[in-house]
Amino acid sequence: MVFYFEARGGLMLYMGKDKFENEHLIKHGWPEDVWFHVDNLSSAHVYLRLPIGPLRKKFRETGNLDHIAEAVEDCVALVKANSIEGCKKTTVDVVYTEWENLKKTGDMADGQVGFHDSKKVIKVKDVPKHREIVNRLNKTKKEEHPDLAAQRAERDARVAKLRRERAKAQAKKDAQEKARMQAEKEARDYKHLFNEDDMMTNENLGATEDTSAAVDFEEGFM
């Protein structure tokens, strides 16, 4: 079972019911997902799903979620509340990182993960209890039994289609730009050729003009 919640900003977050469900979430997460967990304590795995676009782009550029601080506050409050040990403490530290940075090896217990790059792990220190935040999130809570593998496959197909459409549009744009540049080049070449023809005509007229008759006439008159 997976629990879904609506964070501030209309963003979706979700978490597994137990460590076994967490294994499925780890395996079938999306590149748009950001994983949250109480640092150094057992806790639920909470994922914030970023829509493809400016929010995710900003995260990839900066490595943090400071630009959506309210959603982060929702996530850290929820993950603290769903930690058996953490919920009893006055404050805890919470870490988060992109799903793609999670590392799972065969010798790890269910629900246990490591990281490919520890530098990409962000720590939110001294997270207090936020009962009002958790209560608000619980009002949006939905319990579902999704086919996570099928959802990921559907997501991948949709993204692949989008990439093909963008590549096709870019190729069309490049072809139009190439045609425009070629037309401008041909126009410049034609203009240059036209100017050369004019110059040749004027030069030829000047070079072949016969003035001998006028000279003979003038000499005869004198």
CA distance 67 to 58: 8
Q: Looking at 1-5, 99-103, 198-202, which range is the least confident one?
A: 198-202
161 to 42, 153, 154, 158, 176: CA distances (angstroms):
39, 12, 11, 5, 23
Torsion angle in degrees (nearest 10) through CA of 85, 63, 30, 124: 10
How far does the chain reach from its first CA to its final CA, in angstroms?
123
Q: What letter does residue 119 receive in the DSSP assignment?
A: G
Backbone dihedral angles phi then psi of residue 94, each to the nearest 5 degrees: -120, 140
- Strand-pairing partners, residue 115, are 102
Q: Can you tell me the mean pLDDT for 133-143?
A: 97
30-35: Cβ within 8 A, 24+ apart: 30/99, 30/152, 30/155, 31/98, 31/99, 31/100, 32/56, 32/99, 33/98, 33/99, 34/59, 34/65, 34/75, 34/96, 34/97, 34/98, 34/99, 35/96, 35/97, 35/98, 35/99, 35/101, 35/102, 35/113
Q: Residue 220 — very low, low, confident or very high, per pLDDT cuts 50/70/90? A: low
Over the stretch 16-41, which tens digit does the pLDDT of each residue have?
Answer: 988 888 999 999 999 999 999 999 99
Domain ranges across the chain? 2-146, 148-209
More confident residue, 207 or 145: 145
